[in-house]
């Protein structure tokens, strides 16, 4: 492999060339084009490398709900805190979830107050935690899109194979296509095309997006995360618009296939079934999440602790517009408390907490002015 391969995807000369091509193609379009990048990783690439600064005025990136931490409702965080506060429980989760506030505070605060809450570098670490603490009930607060979902059924399989009896699962895995369709059906959301996630698509395959080009006549391009990937995807979308086309294309063909990882897909459907789920800032979306199948309910923390996990619906902070940001209706800079009251050290909303959140990206990179085209 060429050791400069990945640097080529950040090469200034290539970025300048693509920017000029985008400018030329967009000059043939006599209207504003709103292109939603669904994934928070793409949002960070766009803002970090100033791609939103070098695109023409009639081409607008709008940010979607592709950050699993950002869309996690406060009710689920409160449930995790309730579980963590039980004396005989060790609650484990991934790093970003430690800082997301619910109405009862954060898991980080729960740990500071004496609860046994641990963040994992790898979900498989939980096996050793359960083995070393047989007197405790170890619960995995599982989150993430299709990218991380296969790790959880793999962990469940290992739990069953090793006959570990003190390991349970609080499942909050969510899926990408359903919120995309909800946003398309919302008259307030003006979406002309999609840049589809890359890592998600490695698992699902690009086939899950064909529906959007066929039914909704929206161009959609699966894109890699590098600056050149995103700009090349933008070129592909704009060419479709100029040619009055609406089709699925795959810019990230070096990693994404049409069918995806069928082994991972089968692993998911072996242990999980679909359920409705409340998305923070959007509301309940039908069949947009996974839950354990009935035959595995003895491992399901929500079933085992259902009597103590009854929480009321919780409203977000009225000053926070994270919901509008997740739907592509607003930018972080439209928020009155952005960078003032709301910072990574004092986040009012989930878009600032998560490392993939749009507010986090704008806070970290938004004031960088680039002169790459000069």
pLDDT at 373 over 60: no
Query: Which range (3-7, 127-131, 366-370) has the least confidence?
Result: 3-7
pLDDT at 1: 34
Domain boundaries, the chain: 74-175+260-304
pLDDT (mean) for 109-129? 93
The pLDDT confidence band at residue 169, using thresholds 50, 70 and 90, is very high
Check pLDDT > 90 for residue 347.
no
How does pLDDT run across 8-38, given as a tens digit for each residue? 777 888 999 999 999 999 999 999 999 999 9
Task: Please name the fold of domain 74-175+260-304.
Answer: Rossmann fold (3.40.50)
Q: Where are the beta strands (DSSP E) in 269-367?
A: 272-279, 283-292
Contact criterion met (CB below 8 Å) for 288 and 178: yes
In this structure, the strands spanning 283-292 and 272-279 are antiparallel
- Give the pLDDT band of residue 223 (cuts 50, 70, 90): very high
Q: What is the pLDDT of residues 274-286, one digit of tens each?
A: 999 999 888 999 9
CA distances to 127, 239, 267, 319 from 252, rounded to whole Å, are: 34, 17, 24, 38
CB 301 within 8 A of CB 320: no
Place of tokens 């084009």: 33
pLDDT score, position 3 = 39
Task: Give CA separation, 135 vs 61, 88, 89, 90, 335, in Å.
Answer: 51, 8, 9, 10, 47
The pTM of the full predicted model, rounded to 2 decimals, is: 0.91
């Amino acid at each position: 492999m060429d050791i400069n391969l990945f640097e080529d995807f950040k090469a200034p000369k290539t970025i300048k060339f693509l920017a000029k091509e985008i400018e030329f193609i967009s000059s043939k379009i006599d209207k504003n084009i709103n292109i939603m990048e669904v994934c928070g990783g793409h949002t960070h690439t766009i803002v970090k490398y100033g791609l939103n600064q070098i695109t023409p005025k009639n081409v607008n990136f709008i940010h979607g709900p592709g950050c699993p931490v950002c869309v996690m409702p406060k009710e689920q965080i409160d449930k995790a805190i309730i579980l963590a506060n039980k004396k005989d429980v060790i609650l484990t989760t991934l790093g970003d979830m430690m800082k997301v506030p619910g109405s009862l505070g954060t898991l980080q605060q729960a740990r500071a107050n004496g609860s046994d809450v641990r963040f994992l570098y790898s979900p498989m670490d939980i096996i050793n935690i359960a083995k070393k603490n047989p007197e405790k009930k170890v619960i995995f607060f599982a989150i993430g899109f299709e990218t991380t979902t296969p790790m959880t059924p793999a962990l469940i399989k290992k739990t069953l194979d090793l006959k570990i009896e003190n390991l349970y699962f609080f499942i909050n895995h969510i899926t990408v296509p359903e919120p995309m369709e909800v946003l398309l059906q919302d008259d307030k959301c003006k979406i002309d095309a999609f840049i589809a996630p890359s890592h998600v698509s490695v698992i699902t395959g690009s086939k899950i997006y064909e529906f959007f080009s066929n039914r909704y006549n929206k161009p959609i391009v699966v894109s890699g995360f590098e600056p050149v990937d995103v700009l090349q995807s933008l070129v592909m979308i704009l060419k479709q618009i100029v040619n009055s086309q609406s089709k699925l294309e795959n810019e990230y063909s070096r990693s994404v296939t049409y069918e995806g990882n069928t082994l991972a897909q089968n692993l998911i459907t072996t242990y999980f079934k679909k359920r409705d789920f409340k998305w923070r800032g959007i509301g309940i979306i039908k069949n947009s999440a996974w839950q354990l199948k009935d035959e595995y309910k003895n491992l399901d923390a929500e079933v085992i602790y259902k009597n103590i996990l009854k929480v009321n619906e919780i409203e977000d902070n009225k000053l926070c517009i994270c919901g509008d940001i997740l739907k592509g209706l607003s930018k972080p800079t439209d928020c009155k408390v952005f960078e003032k009251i709301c910072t990574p050290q004092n986040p009012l909303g989930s878009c600032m907490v998560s490392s993939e959140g749009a507010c986090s990206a704008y806070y970290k990179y938004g004031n960088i002015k680039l002169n790459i085209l000069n």
